[in-house]
C-alpha cells in the first residue's frame, strides 16, 4: 500500500567523479500530486497560435530578418537572423511545420542539415570579423521547456571561445586525459556496461545516469570528425522514444566536444514534462547541480528498443 511504499522507498544517488554531475533517483517522487487537472494537450496548445495572423514563424519570409550571409534553405526548414541575440553570431532554424510534436524524422533531419549549413556559412562570414568558431545548438519544444514561440525552431550560435558546460567539459576532459583515458568515451563505456547504450553505426546514444532534469535524458555522441546532421536521425528516434513514454516538452542542446584528441558532436535531449507544466521541473536543487530524477533510465532505453522494433516492423 501507499504507506509501505513511503517507508520502503529507495533513493539511488549517482555521481560522476570527474564532472561532478549528481543525480538522485527515486521513482516514488514521480507519484507526487502535481495538479494536472484540466491540462491542455500539445495539439490544443499548438493550434491556439497557428497561422500567419497569430504566429510570426508561420510567415518566415515577411516576419523574420535575413542575415548578412543570407538564408539557408532546406525542404522543410529555413534560417533567419535572431533579432534578440544571445551571442554575437546568433540565428534561428525554423521549420515549416507549426506543431512541434508532429515533426517527422525527415523534417528533423532536414532541420539539422540546415543548421549545419548555417554553421559553415556563419563561420566563413565571421572569419575576418570576430572569428567566432565554436558552435552551439539549442532547441526547446513548448513553453515549459523554455520556448518563446510554440512554432518549432532551433537556436544556432557561434562563440569566439568554448562557453558554459562545453568549456567545463573541455577542462574536465583535459584533466582526465593525464591518465591516458578519454572522458567522453569512458562515460559511454560506463553506460554500455550497464546496458544503457545503443549503437547506430558510428553514432552511440545512451540513457543518462546523470540527467540535467528529473524527467530523464538521452545523450548522443557522433563519430570523430562527423557533422551535426550525422546524428540527426538518431535524435529523431530518441524524440519518438520520449513521446512513446508520454513526454511532451523537450529540450536539446548540442556542441562539439573533445574525443580521442579530435572533435565530435555531443547532444543532450531532456524530458521537460507536460507542454503546460503544473510544476516547473527546475528548482533550487537543480540549479545547485543536484538533480532529483523520477524516470528510470532502463525504461528510457527500453523505449528506444521498442521504437526501433516498431520502425523496423
pLDDT tens-digit series, residues 214-234: 899 999 999 999 999 999 999
Residues 76 and 169 in one domain: no
Average pLDDT score over the chain: 92
Q: What is the DSSP string of 227-249?
A: -GGGGHHHHHHHHHHHHHTT--E
Residues 29 and 40 in one domain: no
**Predicted confidence band at 277 (pLDDT cuts at 50, 70, 90)?**
low
Is the pLDDT confidence value at 32 over 80? no
Can you give the pLDDT at residue 255? 97
CB-count exposure of residue 166 (10 Å: 0-12, 13-18, 19+): buried
- Short-list 131, 136, 188, 186, CA closest to 160: 131
Report the greatest alpha carbon distance in the chain. 67
Q: Which of 138, 156, 174 delimits the end of a domain?
A: 156
Grid coordinates representing 244 are 512513446
* 12-15 sheet: strands from edge to edge: 12-15, 22-25, 290-293
Residues 96 and 204 in one domain: no
pLDDT tens-digit series, residues 89-143: 999 999 999 999 999 999 999 999 999 999 999 999 998 888 899 999 999 999 9
Residues 106 and 152 in one domain: yes
CATH number at residue 55: 3.30.428.10
Residues 122 and 216 in one domain: no
Instruction: Collapse the DSSP code of 207 into the 3-class scheme (helix H, G, I; strand E, B; otherwise coil) and give the result.
Output: strand
Q: Which of 156, 186, 219 delimits the end of a domain?
A: 156
Residues 22 and 68 in one domain: no
Can you give the pLDDT at residue 2? 62
Q: What is the DSSP string of 44-59?
A: HHHHTT-STTT-GGGG
Residues 179 and 311 in one domain: yes
Parent domain of 309: 1-33+162-313
Residues 48 and 60 in one domain: yes
- Better-predicted residue by pLDDT, 10 or 279: 10
CB-count exposure of residue 94 (10 Å: 0-12, 13-18, 19+): buried
Can you give the pLDDT at residue 124? 95
Whether the pTM exceeds 0.85: the reply is: yes
Grid coordinates representing 260 are 580521442
Residues 51 and 150 in one domain: yes
Q: Which of 120, 135, 156 delimits the end of a domain?
A: 156
Residues 136 and 249 in one domain: no
Can you give the pLDDT at residue 43? 95
Of the given ranges (1-5, 9-13, 178-182), which has the lowest mean pLDDT? 1-5
Total number of domains constituting the chain: 2
Residues 232 and 307 in one domain: yes
Is the pLDDT confidence value at 35 over 90? no
Residue 39 Cα distances to 34, 45, 141, 148, 275, angstroms: 11, 10, 17, 19, 9
Grid coordinates representing 69 are 550571409
pLDDT tens-digit series, residues 171-194: 999 999 998 999 999 999 999 999
Residues 295 and 205 in one domain: yes
Amino acid at each position: 500500500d501507499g504507506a509501505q511504499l513511503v517507508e520502503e522507498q529507495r533513493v539511488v544517488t549517482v555521481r560522476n567523479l570527474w564532472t561532478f554531475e549528481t543525480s538522485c533517483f527515486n521513482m516514488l517522487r514521480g507519484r507526487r500530486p502535481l495538479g494536472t487537472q484540466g491540462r491542455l494537450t500539445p495539439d490544443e496548445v499548438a493550434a491556439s497560435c497557428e497561422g500567419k495572423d497569430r504566429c510570426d514563424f508561420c510567415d518566415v519570409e515577411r516576419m523574420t530578418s535575413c542575415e548578412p550571409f543570407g538564408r539557408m534553405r532546406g525542404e522543410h526548414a529555413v534560417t533567419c537572423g535572431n533579432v534578440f541575440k544571445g551571442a554575437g553570431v546568433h540565428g534561428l532554424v525554423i521549420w515549416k511545420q507549426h506543431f512541434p510534436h508532429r515533426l517527422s524524422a525527415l523534417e528533423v533531419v532536414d532541420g539539422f542539415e540546415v543548421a549545419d549549413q548555417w554553421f559553415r556559412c556563419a563561420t566563413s562570414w565571421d572569419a575576418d570579423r570576430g572569428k567566432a568558431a565554436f558552435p552551439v545548438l539549442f532547441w526547446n519544444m513548448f513553453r515549459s521547456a523554455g520556448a518563446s514561440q510554440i512554432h518549432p525552431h532551433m537556436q544556432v550560435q557561434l562563440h569566439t571561445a568554448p562557453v558554459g558546460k562545453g568549456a567545463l567539459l573541455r577542462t574536465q576532459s583535459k584533466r582526465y586525459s593525464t591518465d591516458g583515458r578519454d572522458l567522453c568515451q569512458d562515460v559511454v563505456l560506463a553506460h554500455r556496461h550497464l546496458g544503457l547504450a545503443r549503437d547506430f553505426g558510428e553514432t552511440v546514444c545512451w540513457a543518462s545516469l546523470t540527467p540535467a532534469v528529473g524527467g530523464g535524458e538521452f545523450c548522443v555522441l557522433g563519430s570523430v570528425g562527423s557533422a551535426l546532421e550525422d546524428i540527426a536521425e538518431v535524435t529523431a528516434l530518441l524524440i519518438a522514444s520520449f513521446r512513446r513514454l508520454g513526454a511532451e516538452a523537450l529540450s536539446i542542446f548540442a556542441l562539439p566536444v573533445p574525443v580521442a584528441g579530435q572533435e565530435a558532436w555531443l547532444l543532450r535531449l531532456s524530458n521537460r514534462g507536460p507542454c503546460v507544466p503544473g510544476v516547473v521541473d527546475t528548482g533550487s536543487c537543480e540549479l545547485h547541480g543536484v538533480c532529483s530524477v523520477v524516470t528510470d533510465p532502463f525504461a528510457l532505453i527500453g523505449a528506444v528498443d521498442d521504437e526501433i522494433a516498431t520502425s523496423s516492423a
